[in-house]
Amino acid sequence: LLGTRTVVDDRWLRLDAERLETGRGAILDPWYLQRSRAWACAVATVPDGRVVMVEQYRRGVDAWVLELPAGDIDAGEDPAVAAARELAEETGHRASAAPVALGAWFPEPAHSTARAHGFFVSAHADPVATSHDVGEDIVVRLLAPAEVEAAIDSGHLCHAAQIGFWYAARRRGLIGD
Amino acid sequence: LLGTRTVVDDRWLRLDAERLETGRGAILDPWYLQRSRAWACAVATVPDGRVVMVEQYRRGVDAWVLELPAGDIDAGEDPAVAAARELAEETGHRASAAPVALGAWFPEPAHSTARAHGFFVSAHADPVATSHDVGEDIVVRLLAPAEVEAAIDSGHLCHAAQIGFWYAARRRGLIGD
């Protein structure tokens, strides 16, 4: 790291333009790096086996898409706590057991420090009141596992990291058929 | 979309700050949106069943990490062609059959238009010469499938979208044990 120029620094984005020298002596300037908050998501099932999902407009996709309940981890917050909190806030479904860690991955390892934490969460069937942020417009969906996979195939569920966490939960036998 | 201000526009990054109004009337300003190129990656195996991987430093992780061969799709290029091209350029292993599409997902659906295309590729055992970009410093690794999954568990393979494509290939029975 030979130098850093901050391009954006507000409550939504911290973007640096770095001057880097590689191990082989090449100079990369500017190398854009986002210093981003970590977020957590929940692959959550209710007792009848259905998966708790949310539907919302996503600007990068420019479409209403299906996603796992997810959100930024607060400063000092445990990622597992954040996953359960976001699940409850976005869908009303509270965790009925401790979340099971599925991985802590990087959605954009070249240009962002953001880390995505995935958890499997067993949830209560009956929702309590939700608590959406201003600007959030979320529809809750309870889907059978086969419907989730159909949504992956159709592109309605297209969030790369979340699809990874879904498959990770499947592979560990945490999701039924 | 009520307005757009371009924050960065060079050959590496196009970043807009948008003024958005949600369906419920909330104003989001600035909403940062990256208009990013699509990229493609290859879950590639050679005839003995080993997986062709690359190891390189990633700035967002600040570590040497394991990844699938991957790279930006050129303008007008077919994503399957791009996956096979990047595989050959980065590792020297040429495709021996047409790539099999695994999905076209969004690594950052809220704030980036970038789309990640994953393919399974059967590759020749013997590599030809590689062709690395300036600034790339890549070590090729041939790993057994169990070693790839151990790398996911250890965090050495931590690229969220690529882990998703790996599991997608597994789930379709394209990877052996």
Residues B6-35: tens digit of each pLDDT: 999 999 999 999 999 998 899 999 999 999
Question: What distance in Å separates the CA atoms of residue B44 and residue A82, rounded to the nearest whole number?
Answer: 36
* pLDDT given for residue B152 in this prediction: 97
For B:85-144, CB contacts with A below 8 A are 103-114, 116, 134-135, 137
ipTM of the complex: 0.95
Question: What distance in Å separates the CA atoms of residue A24 and residue B68, rounded to the nearest whole number?
Answer: 22
Give residue A11's pLDDT band: very low, low, confident or very high (50, 70, 90): very high
Determine which of A11, A16, A22, A59 to mutate to test the interface with B (most B C-beta atoms within 10 Å). A59
List A72's β-bridge partners, or say none.
A39
CA distances, A1 to each of A106, B8, B11, B171 (Å): 21, 21, 21, 40
Asked if A150 reaches chain B (Cβ–Cβ under 8 Å), the answer is no
Is pLDDT of A177 > 90?
A: no
Angle at A92 between CA A88 and CA A96, to 5 degrees: 60
Closest chain A residue to the Cα of B22, Cα to Cα: A135
Residues of B in contact with A24 (CB under 8 A): 137
pTM over 0.90? The answer is yes
* pLDDT given for residue B165 in this prediction: 98
Of A161, A82, A87, nearest to A123 (Cα)? A87
Determine which of A108, A117, A159 to mutate to test the interface with B (most B C-beta atoms within 10 Å). A108
Is A60 within 8 Å of B112 when comparing Cβ atoms? yes
Question: What distance in Å separates the CA atoms of residue A16 and residue B63, rounded to the nearest whole number?
Answer: 18
Is pLDDT of A70 > 90?
A: yes
* pLDDT given for residue A83 in this prediction: 98
Give residue B107's pLDDT band: very low, low, confident or very high (50, 70, 90): very high
Helix (H) or strand (E) holding B42: strand B39-45
Is B12 within 8 Å of A30 when comparing Cβ atoms? yes
Q: How far off is chain A from B4, nearest CA to CA, in Å?
A: 13
Is pLDDT of A112 > 90?
A: yes
Q: How far off is chain B from A124, nearest CA to CA, in Å?
A: 28
DSSP line for B123-160: B-SS-----PPTT---EEEEE-HHHHHHHHHHTSB-BH
Helix crossing, B145-154 with B160-171: angle to 10°? 140
Long-range (24+ apart) CB contacts under 8 A made by A15-18 are A15/B8, A15/B15, A18/B59
Model pLDDT for residues B58-68, shown as the tens digit of each residue? 999 999 999 99
* pLDDT given for residue B66 in this prediction: 98
Is pLDDT of A120 > 90?
A: yes
How many other C-beta atoms can be found within 10 angstroms of the C-beta atom of residue A5?
Answer: 11
For A:32-91, CB contacts with B below 8 A are 32-34, 57-62, 65, 67
Instruction: Give chain A's mean pLDDT.
Output: 96
Of B85, B77, B98, B96, nearest to B131 (Cα)? B85
Residues of A in contact with B164 (CB under 8 A): 160-161, 163-164, 167
Residue keyed to tokens 């998966």: A51
In chain A, where does DSSP find H-type helix?
79-91, 145-154, 160-171
Q: Which residues have C-beta within 8 Å of that of residue B84, sequence separation ≥ 6?
A: B42, B94, B95, B99, B119, B121
Give residue A145's pLDDT band: very low, low, confident or very high (50, 70, 90): very high
Give residue B130's pLDDT band: very low, low, confident or very high (50, 70, 90): confident
Is B12 within 8 Å of A32 when comparing Cβ atoms? yes
How many other C-beta atoms can be found within 10 angstroms of the C-beta atom of residue B29?
Answer: 13
* pLDDT given for residue B134 in this prediction: 74
Of A25-29, A59-63, A68-72, A153-157, the one with minimum mean pLDDT is: A25-29
Q: Work out how many CB contacts closer than 8 A connect A with B.
A: 152
Is B59 within 8 Å of A110 when comparing Cβ atoms? yes
Asked if B19 contacts B13 with a C-beta cutoff of 8 angstroms, the reply is no
Is A163 within 8 Å of B103 when comparing Cβ atoms? yes
Model pLDDT for residues A81-97, shown as the tens digit of each residue? 999 999 999 999 999 99
Question: What distance in Å separates the CA atoms of residue A67 and residue A56, rounded to the nearest whole number?
Answer: 8
Asked if A110 contacts B61 with a C-beta cutoff of 8 angstroms, the reply is no
Model pLDDT for residues A156-167, shown as the tens digit of each residue? 999 999 999 999
Is B161 within 8 Å of A160 when comparing Cβ atoms? yes
* pLDDT given for residue A135 in this prediction: 78
Asked if B5 contacts B20 with a C-beta cutoff of 8 angstroms, the reply is no
Q: How far off is chain B from A33, nearest CA to CA, in Å?
A: 7
Is pLDDT of A137 > 90?
A: no
Is B60 within 8 Å of A104 when comparing Cβ atoms? no
* pLDDT given for residue B176 in this prediction: 85
Of A44-58, A123-137, B142-156, the one with minimum mean pLDDT is: A123-137
* pLDDT given for residue A132 in this prediction: 81
Model pLDDT for residues B135-150, shown as the tens digit of each residue? 778 999 999 999 999 9
Residues of A in contact with B105 (CB under 8 A): 158-160, 163
Q: How far off is chain B from A138, nearest CA to CA, in Å?
A: 11
Backbone angles phi, psi at B120, to 5 degrees: -90, 135
Is pLDDT of A105 > 90?
A: yes
Question: What distance in Å separates the CA atoms of residue B161 and residue A159, rounded to the nearest whole number?
Answer: 8
Determine which of B102, B105, B156 to mutate to test the interface with A (most A C-beta atoms within 10 Å). B105
Angle at A81 between CA A129 and CA A35, to 5 degrees: 110
Per the model's pLDDT, the better-predicted residue between A167 and A177 turns out to be: A167
